[in-house]
Amino acid sequence: MRLSANIWLRARSLRFWASFSPRLCTSVSNARKSLGRYAELDQTVIESLPARAEDRSAIDDITHRIKSDARTTLTDPVELSAQRWFIESFTADGFESPRHECANAAMAVHSLGHARSRELYDLTMLEVRRVLYDDLKGRQPIPAGRLLGTRFAWMARYYTGRS
């Protein structure tokens, strides 16, 4: 019995290796081919790059643009200060804090309600996006006929003719 089990396992592992081996060889070959396409990143290359980690001029420019161009329709002083606080915290942490953490902090700092703090977060984030992306040029509308024959053909039935 033991002999037949060993023979069965060996045959099974060879079958597995035979099915796996060509894919592995192809993967290794592709990795070797693409290795020559990329240069090694060393300290001399890093220092020759125009943007350095110590240079904060672009970040400071974007922060100034957000703080100076943001507008609001709110009139309540508490909500206005909450929006200013949101913008300060957005720019201070690099827009990395999740929505729920920012809104929960605003509830604690400004004594806002749960729903209102999240609504103010959303309003403030929309305003920041408007400031940053308002100067983007609009795209030309795509005629519905150009969608046919593509994976977006399902959108053609929703075409209204307006842009």
Convert 65-134 into a string of H (helix), E (strand) and C (coil).
Answer: HHHHHCCCCCCCHHHHHHHHHHHHHHHHHCCCCCHHHHHHHHHHHHCCCHHHHHHHHHHHHHHHHHHHHC
pLDDT of residue 128: 94
Considering the domain boundaries, does residue 89 fall inside one?
A: yes
Average pLDDT, the chain: 80
Considering the domain boundaries, does residue 13 fall inside one?
A: no
Over range 39-64, report the average pLDDT: 77
CB under 8 A, 24+ apart: contacts of 70-75 = 70/124, 70/127, 70/128, 70/131, 71/127, 72/123, 72/127, 74/123
**Whether the predicted pLDDT of 108 surpasses 90:** yes
DSSP 137: P
Cα angle value 95/62/75 (rounded, 5°): 75
Considering the domain boundaries, does residue 100 fall inside one?
A: yes
Considering the domain boundaries, does residue 15 fall inside one?
A: no
Number of domains in the chain: 1
Cβ contact 79:120 at 8 Å: yes
Considering the domain boundaries, does residue 113 fall inside one?
A: yes
**Whether the predicted pLDDT of 1 surpasses 90:** no
Cβ contact 120:83 at 8 Å: yes
Question: Which residue range(s) make up the domain with 100?
Answer: 77-131
Residue 4's CB is within 10 A of a number of other CB atoms, namely 8
Cβ contact 130:149 at 8 Å: no
**The two structure tokens encoding residue 64:** 């100034």
Considering the domain boundaries, does residue 54 fall inside one?
A: no
pTM of the entire predicted model? 0.55
Query: What percentage of the chain reaches a pLDDT higher than 90?
Result: 37
**Short-list 121, 130, 125, 124, CA closest to 73:** 124
Considering the domain boundaries, does residue 87 fall inside one?
A: yes
Considering the domain boundaries, does residue 116 fall inside one?
A: yes
Cβ contact 115:101 at 8 Å: no
User: Who's near 99: CB < 8 A, 6+ residues apart?
Assistant: 118, 121, 122
pLDDT of residue 5: 47
